[in-house]
Structure 1
Amino acid sequence: MTGQEFLQRLEMALASLTDSQKQEVMAYFKEYLAEAGDNAEAIAELGKPEEVAEELVGQFQEKGILEERAQEQIVRQSLTDATNLQITLNDFDVIVEQDDVSEVVVEAVEEVQELLAISRENAQVTIAQISDPARYKTISILGLFSIKTTYGGRFTVKVPRETMFETITVISRDGDATLSGLTANQGNVALTNGDLELNSCRIANLKLTLQNGDGEVVNSATENVLGNFQNGDCEVINSQLGVAEFHLANGDLELEKVESRETLALELSNGDLTYRYSKADYARAKLSNGDATVSDLDFKDLMLTHHCGDAAVILKEGQAEDLAIVVETKFGDYSVLGHTGENGRYTDTNHQATRRLTITNHFGDVSVN
């Protein structure tokens, strides 16, 4: 049996666990087998996947942390006249979405609801997770290693479709956040060890801070956005941006079908940039230790600055005729519209051009086609 076969059979046998419990258990076995590779002795030492699952489920039951989904009862709490929303969590996942409701509604299973402190003062709704160390249990896996697991949980905040929030704040540690269909003047999302999905939102001033998690912005619009990502990737798809800054350390950035009306500033450390099918007035990208691929971009002024990595720009049809180009490579080759060179500078000054492309690369190659 291969490690992959073991994982597949184990996941099927863990069907009685909740998604969060299953994911946590599977993560440990994936890491264990990744280190062991396809070592037959290491896999055999684990035993049959079905027997492993049976023992694990039994331990969950013994410690009283196996949730019976069929018995979950949703508890709803309604809150009126909310224009400010603040959510602070330890390890719960949260979904904030618009729905056909007349007031803000918090929905959660009873045991999750008991660990939420929900209050409303004036027009501000505050939802905070109550820390409860007793929720954490240690499970020993076959005497080989242990994992620290929790009940796991999530809840949903539903808001009326026409609600215009003044502020929305989500601060979370060890949990994911999904924001869907929201409208606000100010938005602040700070996640540690969790992923973010921002879908169909209209937030004038948006600040995103993610550490050890990925971010996805889809079908959304902002006037000002500042995104800081550490150890995670970011995708912005089919969205409209005003003044925008994205800073990524140890992660990739992908922009697709993005319209930036003002200045777009991108800074990546140890990550790749993919930028395509988009429109930009002024785009600036600075990369260290990563490649940049730009294609089918309608731009006025595009500047790419590399320390170590390759840059490839694929122009739209007819753009070359209306483009001033400056390309410089310190230690690398360049190929610009059929002109090639090495460790040098290529300049095509078109005084009639309304577009400008500037690429500076220290250690890497540049191509413009």
Structure 2
Amino acid sequence: MTQEILAQRLWTAAQNDSDLLTRLRSAYRGRFDVRDALWWRANPLAPTPSGRPDPAAELFELKAAVYCMHSVPEPLVEFVDPITLRTVHATETEHRLRQRMREQAQEDAALDAALATADRWADAADPLDGPAHAHPPAALGWADPTDAALGTEDADDSGAGGWRPQGSASQGSVPGGSATARSLRTEFGLYPGAPRPRRRFALLLVAAGALVGTLVAALVVPAFFGPADLPEAAAPAAGIGTGPGALGAADPKAPEQDYLRIFDEPADFADGKAPYLGAEFSHDSIRSVGAAPPGAGFGVYVARRGTGQYCIIVQNADRTGTSACAGPGTLARTGLRVNATVRGTVSVGGNPSMAVLLELSVVWARDGSITTSSHPQGDSCVASPAIC
């Protein structure tokens, strides 16, 4: 039984069974009413019968604002990640999206735990056990010892307990048991002669699949690439970052640096030809920044845009990505930086190509050097600490 079907059955039963509702509330540790959470699991993105919207719908608006190639540029703001305690440079919208994704993951985990607990109630519903054995509410459709008139059809492999249809001898009537049990059996056709229930779960699975596909497309394709182009006025401030590629204020006494020296070098690409980055970039000016790791689905490039700006571009295999641009004056004074989330691989437990999300940073320093660095994303570290 899928979680969607289990959630639908629990939601239906809990409408009229206060004992079941109390037990569900004890098992659920999320922020919302457990009935709302069950509804959203069974009906993704659909508002509850009382009109409460699914909070997951907010993620689509935030992702559209962050991952759209033509979104309005926002300045980078410095945040301290509460999970990794690392300093993160991101826009306000990116920060809100990161927070909402974590909150949604926590809500999903809380409901998963509650559904697992409810599923275990079925294993505990063995009528051969003594009175001390805890039986789940009869309204869930498990075997009900009080329904003496009910037969058992198509029992599952779990023995006397477990999910099983129960029926009566006459068509059109629902015999025995509590009113809640009869209501639930009527809803799902759990008695002989009942009309077969509409397999709405097939439609729910299709909707859930579309939702997962959308989330994966947002996270695995454009999410690898951070904010859209930064205008020169919104270029990163000096002093952000450390190390040899860190950005800093120009020293007026220092000799003039050749910050455009990469364009004096010959173009070198893995397949022998420059990638298409967009009509706004001069094709002859495109240069590759190092070689992407094996299995990586992205590339890092620099190019000239128009006649007055130079850009760092992080591009995915399907040509989605992000870029940041600056004029010669800004590039000479403070350099340029791009932060993006990309798909990469790490070696864990003998597996040399475990796919993870990486936080990628590309720094174009004012002396002309261009460096890249990456580390597993904070959420990946939480899920798999061994990779960090």
State TM-score, norm by structure 1. 0.21
Structure possessing the higher relative contact order (Cα contacts under 8 Å, 6 or more residues apart): 2
| Structure with larger Rg | 2
State TM-score, norm by structure 2. 0.20
Which structure has greater strand proportion? 1
